[in-house]
Amino acid sequence: MRFAYQGLAILFIGALLLASGCGAKSGPSAAMDDAAAVDKTWPPKGQVPELALTPADKLVVVRTAEKLATDNPYAKFWQDAPYLDVPVLKQNVASPQLAEASVASVRVQAVTDGDNVAWRLSWDDPTPDGVVDSGQFSDGVAIEFPIDLGAIPMMGHRGAKVQILYWKAQWQKDLDVGFQDVQDLHPNYWADLYWFAEGEFPYPIPQAFEDPRSLQWFIAHEAGNPMAVFSRTQPVEELVAEGFGTLTHQPESASRGKGVWTDGRWAVVITRPLKTSDPLDHQFAADGPEQVAFAVWQGSDENVGGRKHWTNWIPFTVQP
């Protein structure tokens, strides 16, 4: 069972300050079905197309006529979206710092259908890391937006919040192959007893724990730790921060996503509505000047928490 929150460190104490007023999402998000069908006809089975990409000198969220109903990083409409290669820096402002960079840049594309916005982030990574264990960490990528005017890109600051959309390879693996529990990493481990578990050892999660009484022994799950969600629906987490040490999980999320690793490269799509009813969400302004920042974690290089690659604010606009 996962007891520690890996990746971005969550301090639930900060939730009392930051999550007040955080309600259910409404508006365009209601039309975003988490179970939206992926375009299974593209790319052809067993093939990964080289996207006919056009470089750009500035970041623009371009308008597309297609509805963003798929999170396929290789959907055809990405061929028409210009990209910007954004250099990343070693995080050396706060501990734990990143001693050595292993990522040079992240390639960014973005499209909107007028209701939703989708970001495609890709970068070189020789190994896909979706396992968290002692000394093993997950790959990940995050998008950051300012909520308050003047917020700094380093997790915001007191009085100026930022929102972060964070994709984790570990959560993607939970969705692709099933929840990764202890026996998936250590198949020869043994436990004497699970109270109220049904079936036989190794008591697979969640099938063996339908009885609500059995869940009380899963402390992380019962405490609401996002890492201990048995039946995950999305690999993307929404968070809000107001400076170092205040990063807080948003219980209501309007974002969805998908990551695919192939031929030594990750391609991740994160999609969310342009507008929501949550005061802790960034609200996109059509054709107005905006800012975004990015962060990348390489699990095989022991990137975790503050040991990450990051960028300063990047200006962008959304085509109306």
pLDDT tens-place string over residues 123-160: 999 999 998 888 899 999 999 999 999 999 999 999 99
pLDDT at 145: 98
Tell me the pLDDT tens digit for each residue of 17-47: 333 334 344 433 333 333 333 444 445 555 5
Q: Which residues pair with residue 256 across a beta bridge? A: 271
User: What percentage of residues in the chain have a pLDDT greater than 90?
Assistant: 60
CA atoms within 13 A on the CB side of 39: 17
pLDDT at 275: 96
Q: In this structure, what are the phi and psi dihedrals at residue 136, rounded to the nearest 5 degrees?
A: -120, 135
User: What percentage of residues in the chain have a pLDDT greater than 70?
Assistant: 83
Residue 112 has pLDDT above 60, yes or no: yes
Residue 6 has pLDDT above 50, yes or no: no
pLDDT at 206: 87
Look-up of token digits 């971005």: 8
Tell me the pLDDT tens digit for each residue of 260-316: 999 899 999 999 999 999 999 999 988 789 999 999 999 999 999 999 999 999 999
CB under 8 Å to 164, separation ≥6 — which residues? 8, 142, 143, 144, 145, 238, 239, 240, 241, 247
Question: For residue 29, which of 281, 290, 317, 292 has the smallest C-alpha distance?
Answer: 281
Q: Please state whether beta strands 140-146 and 116-124 pair in parallel, antiparallel, or not at all (unpaired).
A: unpaired
Sign of torsion, CA 154 157 163 164?
Answer: positive
Query: Is the pTM here over 0.95, yes or no?
Result: no
Going through 157-212 in order, the beta strands assigned E by DSSP cover: 162-168
Give 227's pLDDT tier (boundaries 50, 70, 90).
confident
- Computed over every residue of the chain, the mean pLDDT equals 84
Domains of the chain: 12-179+232-318 (2.60.40.1190)
Q: What is the mean pLDDT of residues 84-102?
A: 94
